[in-house]
Amino acid sequence: MIRTMNTTPFPLPSVPVARPSGGAHRRLLVGVATCLACLGAPCVGAEPDGRAIDRLPVRGLHLSGPGKGEVAALVGFIRGPLSQAGVNTLVLEFGYRFDYQSRPEFADPSAPGKAEVREILTACRENGIELIPQINCLGHQSWAKRNDRLLQKHPEFDETPGKYPDNEGIYCRSYCPRHPEVHAVLFDLIDELAVACEAKAFHVGLDEVFILADPDCPRCRGEDPAVLFADEVGRLHAHLKEIGCRTWLWGDRFLDGSATGLGKWEASENGTQGSMDRVPKDLVVCDWHYNNAPETARLFAEKGFDVVSCPWRKPDVALAQLKELQGLRAGHDPAVAAHALGMLQTTWCGPSRFAGALGDLKPGEPVSGNSGSESANCFLTLFDAIRENP
């Protein structure tokens, strides 16, 4: 799963991707232009165009959390294009980009606080959109040379303290799931963000955890990575259940990278795959695949997990994932059908960049070879298809 930075384990497409030019696509582009023109001022969101779309329970979009100065524009974007497209679930990856008060070391006046989140929440509720906040747990505690704020403020939580200077030679750092104090801090942040969003669900990330059971960690060395990972999922799940939130998480660490041929990014090659049978079943697994559409949603559904399929920037992959979900929902096994919840378009950029990319798309013209434009094009293709064949 690729973040907002430039490094990527996946090759970038070098040729334009075709985009449908139907009326629904054009109408949504008009809505985007109108929303961008109003510079974030409140606007009235049109009802989703076309056929009824209530048969796919989750029609979602994942965005990086907004900066404080982006909130007004995001509110307008929610009321306009997202409502018009038929989005009913918005996952906002705030992470530590929130003005936390429960832990003073995480306060950030330049980030959105309770008042700004209230504006976002109000816009979501008025347009039938569930707001799901996200903090990355366990992995993704650094990027390039920079540690994220959890390890900046609490370097003692690092799974590999003193190793990998400047993060050289690793993808992302992890916190130690067995550190005796890490969860007290993490749960305070989760609780504060969940309350601000009045959340009924919370996304805890947990993708691409490559550093776990490090041989130099005094608490984790020699442990089974599957047990460590399952314990952390269970710990997060138990806390979120206690505060009235359902746990959402990425699904890659549950999949066997070697057995499935999916490799170490979209699946696990470091021993966490055995955790799937050790975790609670009432999770929502966000099953992301970006280059192909393996039928892993069926695997999760048959295992008893609710599952949401997650494309990024290849429309053909998104449409294949949608077809699989719709096939599961229309199948003869009612239990499996009930577990196939829907789609979550990922973007790996913030709301301003994504909205700008949507506004720059023009029917019939090639798509720019960048993740913002490609994810915007994929989003439009996917939601056109959802409206046409709910």
Number of H helices, E strands in the chain: 13, 10
Q: 160 and 122 in one domain? A: no
Tokens 């969860």 -> residue: 183
Kindly indicate the confidence band of residue 390, based on its pLDDT and cuts at 50, 70 and 90: low
Tokens 């996200």 -> residue: 134
pLDDT at 28: 57
Inform me whether the pLDDT recorded for 91 exceeds 60. yes
Q: 170 and 252 in one domain? A: yes
Domains in the chain, number: 2
pLDDT at 370: 86
Residue 287 forms part of a structural domain? no
Average pLDDT of 372-387? Answer: 96
The last residue of one of the domains, among 280, 305, 331, is 280
Q: 148 and 48 in one domain? A: no
Residue with the bigger pLDDT between 309 and 368: it is: 309
Q: 153 and 266 in one domain? A: yes
Q: 269 and 219 in one domain? A: yes
Tokens 């989005």 -> residue: 87
pLDDT at 351: 95
List, in order, residues 6 or more apart from 386 with CB less than 8 Å away. Answer: 53, 56, 59, 86, 322, 343
Q: What is the largest CA-CA distance in the chain?
A: 60
Half-sphere exposure of 127 (CA within 13 A, CB side): 31
- The token pair at 77 is 């974007």
Q: pTM score, two decimals?
A: 0.89
Mean pLDDT over all residues of the chain? 88
Q: 72 and 35 in one domain? A: yes
Question: pLDDT tens across 25-40, in order?
Answer: 544 554 554 444 443 3
Domain of residue 244: give its range. 141-280
Query: What single string gives the DSSP state of each residue in 289-346?
Result: -SS---THHHHHHHTT-EEEEE--S-HHHHHHHHHHHHHHHTSS-HHHHHHEEEEEE-
255-259, 349-353, 356-360, 363-367: which has the minimum mean pLDDT?
Answer: 363-367
